[in-house]
Amino acid sequence: MKSFLLSLVVTVLVAMIVAAVPRPSVSASPKATAEMLKELEGEFMKAAAEKGSEGYMSYYADDAVEVPNGVALIQGKVNIAKTMGFLDDKSNRLTWTPVGADISASGDLGYTYGTYEFSSRGKDGKPIVDHGKYTSIWKKQKDGTWKVLLDMRNASPEPPRRNRL
């Protein structure tokens, strides 16, 4: 009887020790990758094309910062949204192509960079096309979604056209 009682006490103590050892938490979401951020850029662009400024701004964090070409910084999603009304004009078209991306070792911060093209019509009705480069810094939010924390762009000359065979 003593050996049974001793075995029971030892078993309970071992179970308590094992239960107290911290284990890494299991995440329901897959590990973030650079490729995932590039795919997110595609979804971002689609939302902007389909829903205008509302779709575009749905990918911004509340505390985002916009670093536009040639003008002052714009801080906060609400203030950035005030400048994005041009996306609601269906004759305007903003497209971009991510060229590179990376994710921090901690898996909660990443960046993308690439080229963009903005097509619109001038006051005279003639087409205008602007080209440029961009960099976006993405941050994983508390709810697990990724949002743009900082977006920076600058103008570039039109890229050279490739000869087609």
DSSP string, 59-71: TEEEEEEEE-TTS
- Percent of the chain clearing pLDDT 70 (strictly above): 78
Indicate whether 19 pLDDT > 90: no
- Percent of the chain clearing pLDDT 90 (strictly above): 70
Indicate whether 165 pLDDT > 90: no
CB atoms closer than 10 angstroms to residue 96: 22
Average pLDDT for 98-106: 96
Q: Which helix (H) or strand (E) covers residue 32, if one does?
A: none
Cα-based angle 120, 121, 122 (whole degrees, multiple of 5): 125
pLDDT of the residue at 6 = 45
pLDDT of the residue at 30 = 62
- Mean pLDDT computed over every residue of the chain: 85
pLDDT, tens only, 63-95: 999 999 889 999 999 999 999 999 999 999 999
**Which has more pLDDT, 162 or 33?**
33
Contact between 114 and 97 under an 8 Å Cβ cutoff? The reply is yes
Average pLDDT for 13-31: 44
Provide the residue type at 159 as one letter.
P
Helix, strand counts (H, E) of the chain = 3, 6
Contact between 134 and 114 under an 8 Å Cβ cutoff? The reply is yes
**Which has more pLDDT, 16 or 48?**
48
- From the list 35, 49, 61, the residue with the least C-alpha distance to 148 is 61
Q: What domains lie within the chain, and their CATH numbers?
A: 30-156 (3.10.450.50)
Place of tokens 């070409």: 69
Q: What is the pTM of this model?
A: 0.76
